């Protein structure tokens, strides 16, 4: 498929979306961002000036979607209610955005001649299958409304491909981290919260015993996976894990961040969160073989870069 001339990035003022927009603009692609600024920020894309088009609006708004996808060859669908625990608190709202919103994005794409939609799915779909690492052929076992919604998005993508010939690719991101991840809510990603606490010299709260594991991937690596998904012929119709294959426990993560920040503070402990996955690590054999994807950033160096950004956001 090759070059991307014009793309829509839903959720493009958010953490992952804004890094994707940076890269697309850098390779000379004309980008439109559609975002309702619910968790994203204008300042994440302000530096791009008029090299991109920003449209403030909701992915559930059909008329608006039809307007912004016109002329795009690729849609990168990043917009979502991203917090697992928020979906447990308010399953209806996250369903509206994550499911109805996704169907609207797919529908507007196929009606307006978009060639390919790359969708942000999640490792949350695996739930608590005890087998490690997670491979894409394992039966999903969602534990939260968020996981069900992401899985439904994958099924919709496959059905739109079959019914309408729309090319779709679903990327199951594991836990993504890096500069611009917003730490401001209790629903934020754990690394962003731990960075904020370490920088302020405060104790974090760990939910459960801290021995739950995650596979953290640096945001720039996730952006590269998106570009491969958009441009490689072999990606069409695929579902791919996007992780590193490396495992870390949440307690060790805090120790590592404490060490890098030169603070030694014992964490506080609260009960585990409902819907939380215990063990999570990716097998990335499929995306490596099909698309040649290899993560480039080691966790430690990624944390150093991220900490530098939290100390001095640029």
Catalogue the long-range contacts made by 35-40 (C-beta closer than 8 Å, 24 or more residues apart).
Answer: 35/10, 35/11, 35/79, 36/79, 37/13, 38/81, 39/14, 39/82, 39/182, 39/185, 40/11, 40/12, 40/13, 40/14, 40/15
Residue 14: contacted member of ligand UD1, ligand NAD, none (CB under 5 to 8 Å, by partner type): ligand NAD
What is the nearest approach in angstroms of ligand NAD to the Cβ of residue 2? Answer: 25
What does 198 bind: ligand NAD, ligand UD1, none (CB cut-off 5 to 8 Å by kind)? none
Q: Assign residue 242 a region (left: φ > 0; alpha: ψ between -120 and 50; beta: otherwise).
A: beta
Nearest to ligand UD1 by Cβ — which residue?
122
The answer to whether residue 109 forms part of the interface with ligand NAD (CB under 6 A) is: no
Applying CB under 6 A, among 84, 170, 228, 239 the residue interacting with ligand UD1 is 84
Among ligand NAD, ligand UD1, none, residue 58 binds (CB under 5-8 Å by kind): ligand NAD
In the complex, the smallest distance separating the C-beta of residue 50 from ligand UD1, rounded to whole angstroms, is 30
Q: Which of 45, 52, 68, 97 binds ligand NAD (CB under 6 A)?
A: 97
Look up residue 303 and give its two tokens.
Answer: 């944390």
Site for ligand NAD in 183-242 (CB under 6 A): 189
List Cα–Cα distances, 204 to 57, 254, 260, 274, 305, in angstroms: 35, 8, 15, 19, 20
Tell me the closest approach of the beta carbon of residue 6 to ligand UD1, in angstroms.
27
Question: 2 to 61, contacts with ligand UD1 by CB under 6 A?
Answer: none
Cβ nearer to ligand NAD, comparing 5 with 46: 46
Strands (E), the chain: 6-10, 30-35, 52-56, 74-77, 116-122, 167-173, 175-177, 205-207, 213-214, 216-218, 239-242, 248-249, 268-270
* Footprint (CB under 6 A) of ligand NAD, residues 27-56: 35-40
Q: What residue ranges bind ligand NAD (CB under 6 A)?
A: 10-11, 13-17, 35-40, 58-60, 78-80, 82, 97, 101, 120, 122, 173, 175-176, 189
């Amino acid at each position: 498929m090759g070059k991307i001339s014009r793309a829509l990035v839903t959720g493009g003022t958010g953490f992952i979306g804004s890094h994707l927009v940076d890269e697309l603009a850098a390779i000379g692609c004309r980008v439109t961002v559609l975002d309702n600024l619910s968790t994203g920020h204008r300042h994440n894309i302000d530096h791009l000036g008029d090299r991109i088009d920003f449209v403030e609006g909701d992915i559930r708004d059909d008329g608006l979607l039809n307007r912004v996808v016109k002329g795009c060859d690729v849609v990168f669908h990043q917009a979502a209610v991203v917090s697992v625990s928020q979906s447990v608190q308010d399953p209806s709202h996250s369903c509206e955005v994550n499911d109805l919103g996704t169907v609207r994005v797919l529908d507007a794409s196929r009606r307006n001649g978009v060639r390919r939609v790359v969708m942000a799915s999640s490792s949350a779909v695996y739930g608590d299958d005890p087998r490690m690492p997670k491979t894409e052929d394992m039966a999903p076992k969602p534990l939260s409304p968020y996981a069900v919604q992401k899985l439904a998005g994958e099924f919709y993508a496959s059905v739109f491909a079959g019914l309408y010939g729309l090319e779709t690719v679903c990327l199951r991101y594991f836990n993504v981290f890096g500069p611009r991840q917003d730490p401001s809510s209790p629903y934020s990603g754990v690394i962003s919260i731990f960075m904020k606490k370490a920088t302020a010299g405060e104790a974090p709260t760990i939910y459960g015993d801290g021995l739950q594991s995650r596979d953290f991937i640096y945001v720039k690596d996730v952006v590269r996976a998106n570009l491969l998904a958009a441009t490689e012929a072999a990606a069409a119709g695929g579902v791919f894990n996007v992780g590193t294959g490396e495992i870390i426990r949440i307690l060790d993560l805090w120790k590592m961040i404490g060490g890098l920040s030169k603070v030694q503070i014992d964490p506080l402990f609260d009960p585990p969160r409902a819907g939380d996955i215990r063990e999570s690590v990716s097998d990335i054999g499929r995306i490596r073989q099909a698309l040649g994807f290899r993560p480039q950033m080691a966790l430690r160096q990624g944390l150093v870069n991220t900490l530098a950004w939290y100390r001095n956001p640029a």
